[in-house]
Amino acid sequence: MTRRYAFLGPAGSFSEEALLTLGLPDLEPVPCLSIDEVFVAVANGWADSGIVPIENSVEGSVNATLDALAFDEADLMIRGETVLDVRQALIAAPGVAMKDITAVTSHPQAVAQCRGWLTEHLPGRPVIAANSTSEAVQRAVAEPGIAAVGTLLAADLYGGHVLRKSIQDYAGNQTRFVVIGRGVSAHTGHDKTTLALFIHHDQPGALLMILSEFAYGGINLTKIQSRPTKRQLGQYMFFVDLEGHLEDPAVDLALKCLRLKLRQVKVLGSYRKA
Amino acid sequence: MTRRYAFLGPAGSFSEEALLTLGLPDLEPVPCLSIDEVFVAVANGWADSGIVPIENSVEGSVNATLDALAFDEADLMIRGETVLDVRQALIAAPGVAMKDITAVTSHPQAVAQCRGWLTEHLPGRPVIAANSTSEAVQRAVAEPGIAAVGTLLAADLYGGHVLRKSIQDYAGNQTRFVVIGRGVSAHTGHDKTTLALFIHHDQPGALLMILSEFAYGGINLTKIQSRPTKRQLGQYMFFVDLEGHLEDPAVDLALKCLRLKLRQVKVLGSYRKA
């Protein structure tokens, strides 16, 4: 049966690259214009699942994703995760060599990630802004002489010739993507649980108590981040990733204790670790 | 005496707007192409101080700034902070009305922030990508009929006519900027201290201990964030904002205790709260 996966588009984006790493058979990718739109598509049943970025090693957490998980009323959950090496490629029309390049085009953020390389290898070439790396690759294929910064997937989709596979300045750039859908994934023994913890207003020592509960259960936290709730200035909440599944007795006990003391404990997913 | 302030440019950017809110006399703004370049400009003495974004209410922490503060060898420090309401304006050439607009131009990120408004009020207009909101405003002024999404400061600088002052979809979008320079700012009694805490590898319970030290001193934390050190996979560090100044006895004691137990305690600044 074909499964429709909503992703942050357009076609050829890093989100689509991440989707393809999942190796799913009979996949129908559904491109969306924003992270919120991916959540809407899954919540309304236009797609069976979705895939969105949640954390980048250089840029940090993707708050649009964290907030959609924490505040949306559809209560979609993280069902799985995958980590992608972010590689910006230099792409041109077939037959075009480095020496023929007269201008560079891409999304300004992608250009910024490769600025050092471009200054060294293509000095003085004007930079033409594009609305997305995919749009840039399409333009490069149509106009020989213009090179695009974009994904290998986009080069493949639009018939571009890859001049260099990896030109981003920052080595080790990785993005973690999460698959969103309904319900908690099955226990595998190598799981991770993501929580949004809302504390009562003016509750000093809340984080200390939270950490003590997890320490008592021997539960390892892999990420913790405080964040304003945006409902009221100065009101904070915490996003926590921990090792273990909701069905593990220690995790279950810690959550029972936290539910007695906090304003809200929202499970954002329990899923197999990447 | 004129003081040179490096900021994330180009001229007319949100960073320059933030700089102007500081109300400094005899200010010479020095535009830079990236956050790293602002740090380099100050470290090398090309500018006396710098101003960079550190946290946005929608996008989250600006990791390029956190990392430059934590890892750069120049040991620049946060000397102050300011919070700016982020407002995207709709700007055109003088004499152009809403009904005359045939296309919209801006940095793709700025367009994304206003997508709902643009869909409702300017449906069907093609979107032309620009390398920055300032470049977009200059183009709008030069080509009547094209409207730009950009800052009020850019409209003022380039002679644009402001059609709407605030068209971003997300209300309450704020960015916190920090002033960077050398040394710790003077004690004012309304201060904040920012720390980077590096734990030893495989040190379970480190965060619990850290929070206990601050709790013992009655020190209030306003932000805490874990983050990979990027030196080695799985090695974490913490960024902490606390209320108080390095010279406060309780803060001094907590740092002395933490220095005995952690791999490194790096003070990123002690400065007056915004």
CATH of the domain at B115: 3.40.190.10
Residues of A in contact with B274 (CB under 8 A): none
Q: Is residue B126 part of a domain?
A: yes
Look at residue B230 and tell me whether its pLDDT is greater than 70. Answer: no
Q: Measure the CA–CA gap between A34 and A10, rounded to whole angstroms.
A: 10
Q: Is residue B160 part of a domain?
A: no
Q: In this predicted structure, what is the pLDDT of residue B137?
A: 97
Where chain A has pLDDT below 50, the residues are none
Q: Is residue B268 part of a domain?
A: yes
Q: Give the CATH number for residue A229.
A: 3.30.70.260
Q: Measure the CA–CA gap between B250 and B218, rounded to whole angstroms.
A: 8
Look at residue B205 and tell me whether its pLDDT is greater than 90. Answer: no
Nearest to B211 among A115, A207, A223 (CB): A207
Give the contacts of B210 (CB within 8 A, at least 6 positions apart): B197, B238, B240, B258, B262
A204/B contact by beta carbon, under 8 A:
yes
- Specify whether A214 is located in the same domain as A139: no
Q: In this predicted structure, what is the pLDDT of residue B184?
A: 93
Q: List the helix and strand counts (H, then E) for chain A.
A: 9, 15
The more confident residue out of A121 and B221 is A121
Residues of B in contact with A215 (CB under 8 A): 204-205, 208
- Specify whether A177 is located in the same domain as A61: yes
Q: DSSP assignment, residue B98? A: G
Q: Sheet containing A103-106: which strands, arranged edge to edge?
A: A127-129, A103-106, A146-150, A89-92, A161-164
- Specify whether B103 is located in the same domain as B124: yes
CA distances from B258 to A71, A170, B43 (A): 36, 32, 28
B108:A215 CB<8 A: no
Decide: helix, strand or coil at residue B41.
Answer: helix
Q: Measure the CA–CA gap between A156 and A245, rounded to whole angstroms.
A: 39
Q: What is the mean pLDDT of chain B?
A: 91
- Specify whether A252 is located in the same domain as A210: yes
Q: In this predicted structure, what is the pLDDT of residue B235?
A: 65
- Specify whether B18 is located in the same domain as B126: no
Domain closes at, from A181, A211, A244: A181
Q: Measure the CA–CA gap between A207 and B238, rounded to whole angstroms.
A: 14
pLDDT tens-digit map of B84-141? 988 999 999 999 999 999 999 999 888 988 988 999 999 999 999 998 999 999 999 9
Domain closes at, from A105, A129, A164: A164
Look at residue B233 and tell me whether its pLDDT is greater than 80. Answer: no
Average pLDDT, integer, range B157-165: 97
Q: In this predicted structure, what is the pLDDT of residue A250?
A: 96
Cis omega before residue A10 (within 30°)?
Answer: yes
- A142 C-beta neighbours (distance < 10 Å), count: 10
- With CA atoms as reference, the chain A residue closest to B211 would be A208
B172/A contact by beta carbon, under 8 A:
yes
- Specify whether A77 is located in the same domain as A106: no
Phi then psi for residue B135, to 5 deg, are -60, -40
Average pLDDT, integer, range B157-170: 94
- Specify whether A45 is located in the same domain as A101: no
pLDDT tens-digit map of A176-204? 999 999 999 999 999 999 999 998 877 77
Q: In this predicted structure, what is the pLDDT of residue A56?
A: 78
Domain count, chain B: 3
A108:B127 CB<8 A: no
* Shortest Cα–Cα distance, B2 to chain A (Å): 31
Q: Is residue B164 part of a domain?
A: no
- Specify whether A129 is located in the same domain as A106: yes
- Specify whether A152 is located in the same domain as A28: no
A64:B57 CB<8 A: no
Look up the domain containing A98 and give its range. Answer: 89-164
Residues of B in contact with A223 (CB under 8 A): 226
Alpha helices in chain B (DSSP H): 14-21, 35-43, 63-71, 108-113, 115-121, 133-142, 152-158, 206-216, 249-261
- Specify whether A20 is located in the same domain as A72: yes
Q: Is residue A186 part of a domain?
A: no
Q: Is residue A13 part of a domain?
A: yes
A57:B230 CB<8 A: yes
- Residue whose pair of structure tokens reads 């090309």 in the numeric block: B46
B83/A contact by beta carbon, under 8 A:
no
How far apart, in Å, do the first and last CA atoms of chain A sit?
Answer: 25
Residues of A in contact with B62 (CB under 8 A): 60
Q: Is residue B168 part of a domain?
A: no
CA distances from B47 to A116, B30, B39, B41, B180 (A): 22, 7, 9, 6, 11
Q: How confident is the model at residue B43 (pLDDT cuts 50, 70, 90)?
A: very high
* Amino acid type, B51: I
- Specify whether A160 is located in the same domain as A95: yes
Average pLDDT, integer, range B21-34: 91
CA-based R_g, chain B, Å: 21
Q: In this predicted structure, what is the pLDDT of residue B116?
A: 87
- Specify whether A154 is located in the same domain as A264: no
Q: Give catalytic residue positions of A.
A: 175, 177
Q: Is residue B260 part of a domain?
A: yes
Substitution target in A13, A119, A223 with the highest count of B β-carbons within 10 Å is: A223
Domain closes at, from A181, A206, A230: A181
Q: Measure the CA–CA gap between B218 and B224, rounded to whole angstroms.
A: 16
